[in-house]
């Protein structure tokens, strides 16, 4: 299964998003702060990271910079998620090394389209998605 790491401190947001992604055929691992996100990027080797930007311990911008500066994790695509629907946040996220950017509240179809630009589901996962649709 294609694996997504969700880095998000709000438990309900994490839970809602993870369960939707699992239903869509992805494997999901989660971290509740930026530092744990960095550690899990290295240990879990996810295919993609969804990174909230406002995080405790280490914020999403620093976490992304750390991930992108480590050769072992630099190639993992990072999509920034932020509630701040401002152009400056998009620029700031991209400058930190994020590969794409999406705003919260999440619209799942829009986010799935962005995810699919970086990772493609294998045949089994596509069958699972069709079954869930």
> Where on the chain is the footprint of other proteins (CB under 8 A)?
10, 12-13, 16-17, 19-20, 23, 83, 104-109, 111-112, 132-133
Nearer to other proteins among residue 35 and residue 112 (C-beta):
112
Q: How far apart are CB 87 and other proteins at their closest, in Å? A: 20
CA distances from 90 to 29, 53, 86, 101 (A): 25, 11, 7, 6
Cα(124)–Cα(131) distance, rounded to whole angstroms? 11
Longest CA span, the chain? 40
Q: Which DSSP category does 125 fall into? A: H
Tell me whether residue 42 or residue 83 sits nearer to other proteins (CB atom).
83
Closest distance of CB 116 from other proteins, Å: 14
**In this complex, which beta carbon is closest to other proteins, that of residue 71 or of residue 109?**
109
For tokens 């630009």, what's the residue? 117
What minimum distance in Å lies between the beta carbon of 126 and other proteins?
Answer: 16
Nearer to other proteins, 83 or 95 (CB): 83
**Least distance CB 10 / other proteins (angstroms):** 8
Let me know how long the chain is.
133
What's the rounded Cα separation, in Å, for the pair 92 and 70?
Answer: 19
CB atoms within 10 A of CB 132: 11
């Amino acid at each position: 299964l294609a694996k997504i790491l969700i880095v998000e401190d709000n438990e309900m947001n994490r839970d809602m998003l993870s369960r939707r992604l699992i239903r869509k055929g992805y494997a999901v691992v989660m971290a509740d702060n930026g530092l744990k996100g960095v550690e899990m990027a290295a240990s879990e080797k996810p295919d993609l990271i969804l990174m909230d930007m406002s995080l405790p311990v280490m914020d999403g911008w620093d976490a992304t910079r750390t991930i992108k500066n480590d050769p072992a994790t630099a190639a993992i695509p990072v999509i920034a998620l932020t509630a701040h629907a401002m152009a400056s946040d998009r620029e700031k996220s991209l400058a930190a090394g994020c590969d794409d950017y999406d705003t919260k509240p999440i619209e799942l179809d829009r986010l799935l389209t962005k995810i699919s630009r970086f990772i493609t589901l294998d045949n089994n996962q596509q069958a699972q998605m069709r079954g869930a649709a």
